[in-house]
Amino acid sequence: MQPSANQPFRPKETPAGTFAKTKLLVIDDDRKLSRLIATYLEPMGYEVTCAYTGPEGLELALAGAFQAVILDVMLPGLDGFEVLKRLRQKSDVPVLMLTARGDESDRIVGLEVGADDYLPKTFSSRELLARLRAVTRRATLTAARAEEAAPAELVVGKLRVNTGARTAALGDQALELTPVEFDLLASLARARGRVKTREQLLDEIRERNYDVFDRSIDVHISALRKKLGDDPKVPHFIKTVRSAGYMFLRPEEGEAGVPV
């Protein structure tokens, strides 16, 4: 892979003047190549984490904190196909697969298992960046379309969130939420049972032109919890997932008072 002189990707700027980087996981036992990928992509707006075995990469990917994964086929412990198969059981994170062989059969298997795109290891840095941008852009568009097609009212246990009317109620009690709190609640409720990272929540809120920065997400979540009457130590609604983000509990989990 050879570095290129194309213009760097400029991620969204926060009000404080910093940039929200795209979190990328590279799973490849070739440490030199992994370092080259990280060195090239980090100035382009990516925060790169590297894993060098199949089991290690799968564990990190399943934590749900990454917005894209670059996955090699030939890996120790678990090969890339098996990593992808297990990952797809729980996550739809965009995956760009790499192969040293470039065989058509490998490409077909990878795509059938759930890869978003495929790249032989003879790739150029510019092609890697273009393909990576393409798979993440497609994932964003797919998520946006799914959100638009989702029911106007989300019902989670006693909580009702009407995204059309932008109202929320807990039982018979209407909730008085700020616009940011409502959008956070709708996003978390829509993804119930799955972790939403702070970066994902921040991107969604920033799309609506609110003056929100990274750590203020925690402040808004805290305010939202108070209005829901939720105890962060024994949550019924919003659970903090350490080093990852937040997850809206399914009704059976919340009613059981799952501790964090």
Domain match, 164 and 242 both: yes
Q: Per-residue pLDDT averaged across 49-60, rounded? A: 96
Asked if 197 and 241 sit in the same domain, the reply is yes
Q: Are residues 92 and 110 in the same domain?
A: yes
Q: What would you report as the CA-atom Rg of the chain, rounded to the nearest whole angstrom?
A: 20
Residue 165 has pLDDT above 80, yes or no: yes
138 and 230 fall within a common domain: no
- pLDDT value, residue 141: 66
> Looking at residue 194, what is its pLDDT?
87
Domain edge (last residue) among 89, 117, 146: 146
Q: Which of 146, 168, 191 is the last residue of a domain?
A: 146
Residue 76: its pLDDT value, please?
96
- Residues with Cβ within 8 Å of 53's Cβ and at least 6 positions away in sequence, in order, are 29, 75, 76, 77, 78
Does 164 share its domain with 61? no
Q: Are residues 142 and 233 in the same domain?
A: no
Q: Are residues 98 and 164 in the same domain?
A: no
- 161 band by pLDDT with thresholds 50, 70 and 90: very high
pLDDT of residue 18: 41
Lowest mean pLDDT among 84-93, 95-104, 140-149, 229-238: 140-149
**In a domain? residue 36:** yes
Does 5 fall in a domain?
A: no
Are both 42 and 88 inside the same structural domain?
yes
- The reply to whether 3 falls in a domain is no
Q: What's the whole-number mean pLDDT along residues 187-196?
A: 88
Model confidence at 143, in pLDDT bands (50, 70, 90)? low
* Cβ proximity of 121 and 91 under 8 Å: no
Q: Are residues 93 and 157 in the same domain?
A: no
Q: Are residues 77 and 157 in the same domain?
A: no
Average pLDDT score over the chain: 81
d(CA 228, CA 222): 10
| Count of other CB atoms within 10 angstroms of residue 138 | 13
Model pLDDT, residue 174: 95
Evaluate if pTM is beyond 0.85.
Answer: no
Of 103, 128, 146, the one marking the end of a domain is: 146
Structure confidence at residue 100 as a pLDDT band (50, 70, 90): confident
pLDDT (0 to 100) of residue 150: 56
8-46 exposure pattern, b = at least 16 Cβ within 10 A, e = fewer: eeeeeebeeeeebbbbbbbbbbbeebbebbbebbeebbb
Q: Residue 4: inside a domain, yes or no?
A: no
Is residue 141 located within the same domain as residue 88?
yes
* pLDDT of res. 214: 55
Of the listed ranges 8-22, 34-48, 66-80, the one predicted with least confidence: 8-22
Here the CATH number for the domain that contains residue 103 is 3.40.50.2300
Task: Report the range of poorest mean pLDDT among 41-50, 74-83, 100-109.
Answer: 100-109
Report if residue 9 sits inside a domain. Answer: no
Give the range of the structural domain holding residue 36, as residue numbers without chain letter. 22-146
Do 110 and 156 share a domain, yes or no?
no
- pLDDT (0 to 100) of residue 212: 56
Assess if residue 8 is contained within a domain: no
The letter for the amino acid at 158 is K
Overall domain count for the chain: 2
pLDDT at 225 exceeding the cut of 50: yes
